[in-house]
């Protein structure tokens, strides 16, 4: 297949591109900055849309506008460019932030979006992607959890304090974390490209979400250090403002649609997944 990827230089984009090239696909990186020139998607069979302004920043009014606009206007630009020569499939990123903070509720893809900032961003993002369906394009929307992989993503920020023995739970630690190993995310994207009958929303998360307390314990054990310095919720709110809700929200998302589509996770267990990532980090570093 000829595959176009937006956000190809990012943590997830690099892993997806490497995997697809290794499987014999031809990969074209596409930038949405400044719009797409005519013919930018000529000859493309599949589009993997990962581009978007980083959420991990203080949410000033300007940042909120960039976060929303990059996803809504960016996806709208991408779909418009598909009209003349539609690809077979669009795989568009979204996030488990779609669900908001839902306590212990088990969240399958049928759960409604939250009426908070990230919920509105994700819902609008998905709506723009879904606009490709009337063009005859199969659309899969990935609600991605915390992605664990070597040399990037969430663990790049988490590992240093844990290796120093100063890591700890965030807030109460009772909030659920929906997570996925980068290799499983890449493999799920490959399945969604390959299987011509699958479409709709997919929770890109391990079938076994964990609480932040459980995650903290597993990461500390994986690096052979104690985890004794919790970060209080008020401190996170003081440091990060409204963005702290990303770390304190509770999302217990289950990959029901992916498993019904026949996807088998290679890294479903949090401790084994963390050990795998840390060993890969050492091997690459």
pTM of the model: 0.95
Helix 61-81 × helix 117-130 angle, to 10°: 10
What rounded mean pLDDT belongs to the chain?
A: 94
Residues 6+ apart with CB under 8 A from 101: 114, 116, 175, 245, 248, 249, 250, 251
Please check whether residue 121 is in contact with residue 64, taking contact to mean a CB–CB distance below 8 angstroms.
no
Helix (H, G, I), strand (E, B) or coil at 140: strand
What CATH number does domain 2-150+180-206+253-265 carry, 3.30.420.40, 3.90.76.10, 3.40.50.720, 3.30.420.10?
Answer: 3.40.50.720
The pLDDT assigned to 172 comes to 93
Please check whether residue 151 is in contact with residue 277, taking contact to mean a CB–CB distance below 8 angstroms.
no
Band the pLDDT of 282: cuts 50, 70, 90.
Answer: low
Tell me the per-residue pLDDT of 81-127, one tens digit each, with 9 for 90 and over. Answer: 999 889 999 999 999 999 999 999 999 999 999 999 999 999 999 99
Between the alpha carbon of residue 32 and those of residues 5, 22, 72, 94, 235, the distances in Å are 10, 25, 12, 17, 36
Give φ, ψ of 80 to 5 degrees: -60, -35
Residues 6+ apart with CB under 8 A from 48: 3, 4, 5, 6, 13, 16, 91, 189, 193
**CA nearest neighbour of 121 among 53, 191, 188, 180:** 53
Mean pLDDT across 234-260: 90
Please check whether residue 251 is in contact with residue 101, taking contact to mean a CB–CB distance below 8 angstroms.
yes
Please check whether residue 209 is in contact with residue 148, taking contact to mean a CB–CB distance below 8 angstroms.
no
The pLDDT assigned to 8 comes to 96
Distance CA 126, CA 119 (A): 11
Q: Which residues pair with 143 in a beta bridge?
A: 94, 203
Helix (H, G, I), strand (E, B) or coil at 106: strand
> Where do the structural domains in the chain lie, given as residue ranges?
2-150+180-206+253-265
The pLDDT assigned to 284 comes to 58
Q: Which helix (H) or strand (E) holds 13?
A: helix 11-22
Position 228 pLDDT exceeds 90: no
Q: Which residues pair with 170 in a beta bridge?
A: 231
Distance CA 210, CA 73 (A): 34
Position 283 pLDDT exceeds 70: no
The pLDDT assigned to 114 comes to 97
DSSP secondary structure of 23-37: TT-EEEEE--TT---
Band the pLDDT of 244: cuts 50, 70, 90.
Answer: confident
Helix (H, G, I), strand (E, B) or coil at 149: coil
Tell me the per-residue pLDDT of 19-35, one tens digit each, with 9 for 90 and over. Answer: 999 999 999 999 998 88
The pLDDT assigned to 242 comes to 81
């Amino acid at each position: 297949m000829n595959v176009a990827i937006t956000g190809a230089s990012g943590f997830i984009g690099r892993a997806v591109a490497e995997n697809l090239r290794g499987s014999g696909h031809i990969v074209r990186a596409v930038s949405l900055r400044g719009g797409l020139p005519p013919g930018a998607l000529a000859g493309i069979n599949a589009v993997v849309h990962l581009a978007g302004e980083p959420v991990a920043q203080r949410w000033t009014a300007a940042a909120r506008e960039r976060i929303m606009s990059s996803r809504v206007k960016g996806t709208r630009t991408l779909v418009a460019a598909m009209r003349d020569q539609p690809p077979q499939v669009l795989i568009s990123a979204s996030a488990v932030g779609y669900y908001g903070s839902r306590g212990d509720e088990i969240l399958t893809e049928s759960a409604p979006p939250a009426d908070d900032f990230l919920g509105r961003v994700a819902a609008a993002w998905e709506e723009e992607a879904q606009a490709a369906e009337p063009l005859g394009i199969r659309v899969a929307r990935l609600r991605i959890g915390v992605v664990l992989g070597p040399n990037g993503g969430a663990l790049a920020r988490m590992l240093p304090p844990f290796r120093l023995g100063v890591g700890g739970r965030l807030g109460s630690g009772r909030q659920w974390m929906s997570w996925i190993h980068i290799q499983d995310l890449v493999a799920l994207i490959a399945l969604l490209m390959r299987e011509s009958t699958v479409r709709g929303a997919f929770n890109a998360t391990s079938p076994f979400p964990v609480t932040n307390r459980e995650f903290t314990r597993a990461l500390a054990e994986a690096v052979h250090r104690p985890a004794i310095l919790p970060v209080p919720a008020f401190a996170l709110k003081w440091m990060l403002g409204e963005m702290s809700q990303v770390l304190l929200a509770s999302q217990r998302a289950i990959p029901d649609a992916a498993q019904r589509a026949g996807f088998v996770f290679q890294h479903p267990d949090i401790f084994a997944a963390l050990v795998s990532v840390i060993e890969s980090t050492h091997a690459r570093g």
